[in-house]
Amino acid sequence: MCEGGQALAEDTLPGEVIVAPVSDADDVLRVEHIAKSFGPVTALRDVSLHLKKGEVLGLLGDNGAGKSTLIKTICGFQKQDSGAMWLKGEPYEPRSVDHARSLGVDVVYQDLALIDELSVYQNMFLCREERVARLPFLDRRSMKKEARAALDEIGIHLPRLDVPVARLSGGQRQSIAVARGVYSDADILLLDEPLAAMGAKEGAMILELIARLKKEGKLSMIMILHNYVHVLESCDRVNMIVDGVITFDKPAAETSLEELTEIVVDEYRRARAAANAEEVAEAAEAAVLDPE
């Protein structure tokens, strides 16, 4: 599936053989022991997760926990330092977002990636050059018509599709980014905070769309959401990431708002206690070094 079809990740250490994990036949994606640092900052320590066909996986975690880094690694935006990924049982080594897209993995970024100067319909077709090239008859008028049909299907009503997206509200821009992802022919869609900047009505529309797609069962999704109620309503399974490690994995039906809140509060208490202990240790060390 991946070009080259090598079983070894490019950055595999000498002598280290990455063996395909015993895969559940339903898994469309497996992430195994992924780590990623940015200079001194470790964003992902050791992340393993799996996604089944047609499943919606909710990814929760604090600010800075590593959620976007994980999504950006899966979508081919950046490469992990170590670890491996598998797509439908084959080694998955995306070289770029376009490459990942060609393999069926598409993304809606937290920071959107719409081009302000381009119109709504041009943004809808952005990064689909190959597709447009294969359909030379897809002129501006047809593009607009297709974009309108895709937006209508999702229930997004914009009066004009030929205005630059810079003139739209944050929520409208977000709707276009989500529509573009859904409209692609992806097997796996990664959504990084798809409801950020959206009003209640637009957010509800997107959640409804996700529920519809889930029912169809063709598309698998990993979705980062901050609202636990939305996670429990929209997702089949919940993973929580803390400091670059997945610490919680349960079907949504087997957890609750209370349990998720409890975990986060516990985590907060632990982090506070660790910070206090560090402060005490630093003060003790300073006292030893400078007894005056």
* Positions in the binding site for ligand ATP (CB under 6 A): 38, 41, 43, 61, 63-69, 110
Nearest distance from residue 142's CB to Mg ion, in Å?
36
The option from ligand ATP, Mg ion, none interacting with 13 (CB < 5 to 8 A, set by class) reads: none
Is the Cβ of residue 36 or residue 67 nearer to Mg ion in the bound state?
67
Is the Cβ of residue 132 or residue 263 nearer to ligand ATP in the bound state?
263
Interface with Mg ion, residue 68, by CB under 5 A: yes
Is the Cβ of residue 61 or residue 203 nearer to ligand ATP in the bound state?
61
Tokens of 23: 């895969």
Nearest distance from residue 68's CB to ligand ATP, in Å?
3
Q: Which stretch binds Mg ion (CB under 5 A): 7-15, 67-75, 138-146, 173-181?
A: 67-75
Q: Rounded CA gap, 26 and 15, in Å?
A: 30
The option from Mg ion, ligand ATP, none interacting with 82 (CB < 5 to 8 A, set by class) reads: none
CA 250 to chain centre: 18
Closest by CA to 126, choosing from 165, 75, 78, is 165
* Dihedral over Cα of 6, 11, 14, 19: its sign: negative
SS3 content of the chain, % helix, strand, coil (to 5): 40, 25, 35
Q: Which stretch binds Mg ion (CB under 5 A): 14-22, 61-69, 111-119, 134-142?
A: 61-69
* Dihedral over Cα of 98, 43, 48, 232: its sign: negative
Closest by CA to 247, choosing from 49, 89, 114, 111, is 49
* Dihedral over Cα of 273, 274, 277, 282: its sign: negative
Residues paired with 238 in a beta bridge: 58, 250
Nearest distance from residue 80's CB to ligand ATP, in Å?
13
Q: Which stretch binds Mg ion (CB under 5 A): 68-76, 78-86, 260-268, 282-290?
A: 68-76
Nearest distance from residue 277's CB to ligand ATP, in Å?
21
